[in-house]
Every structure is written in C-alpha cells, then in structure tokens.
Amino acid sequence: MKEFITGSDEQYELLKKSLDDKKCHVYNCTFPTSFSKSTGRIGFEKDKISYILYIDKGITCTASKSSLLKDWLEAGTLRFLDFSDLKAFLKGLTFLYPATRRRKGSST
C-alpha cells in the first residue's frame, strides 16, 4: 500500500490511463502495521460517474486520523468525482507510515 502513498505523478498517470479499459484493476498489497490485516487487495475502477477505490472488507485501522479512511475500510468502497481526488486521498495517508517523506516534485 505504501507504493500508492508515495507514488509519483508519472505512476499515477499510468494508473489513470490503465483504468480507461473499464476493468477493475486489483493489486495485492502489504498494509501498514496499524491495519488489522497485514496483506490484502486494493482495487481501482472507473465507471461512468466516478473513480472507485476498493479494499478488502473486514479491515480496521488503529491509527486512523481520517474519517474518510475509516469510511473506506468500513464500506470497502469509496467513490471519487475525479481521479485527482482519489490520488489526493491515497497520498494523504502518509500518517500510516510515519517515516514516509513526500518526494520533492510530487503533488497531490
């Protein structure tokens, strides 16, 4: 999961383009230690009205400072109006990796 939090603008552009195939793209991830599960799946999909972010259900987080993160974990799904919103959400989860430093030049 850390790769999505620290991902570069170029990597996110590639992810965004990949979603044009209208398929759900699923990634097996290692979760931060504050999650109740160590590994699981995160999925990305674009539909007609939004960009969708999926995560395996049944996961909780002890370090949640974000109500949006909590809602995402509870529902297993979060919809974003634009891809930039999805990106901003994921890149805003740096608190899950306290030692993570934002790279220079990357933006949200």
Partner 1 sequence: MDWFFDILPFLCTGLVLCLFGRFCRRNSAAPARPSAAQPSSNSTGPIVYFATNDFGLSDREYRFDYRKEQGFWKAYILKMPSLRGRSGSFHVTHRLGTADAPFVCWDQPLRTLEDAQNVSRVWADHLQEYIATGKRF
Q: What is 7-56 written as a DSSP string?
A: --HHHHHHHHHHGGG---EEEEEEPPTTBSSSEEEEEEEE-SS-EEEEE-
Six token digits for residue 94: 């740096």
x/- site string to partner 1, residues 47 to 66, per CB under 8 A? --xx-x-x-xx---------
For the CB of residue 60, give the shortest distance to partner 1 in the complex, in Å. Answer: 16
Does 94 interact with partner 1 (rule: CB under 8 A)? no
Q: Residue numbers of the site for partner 1 (CB under 8 A)?
A: 23-26, 41, 43, 49-50, 52, 54, 56-57, 68, 75-82, 84-85, 88-89
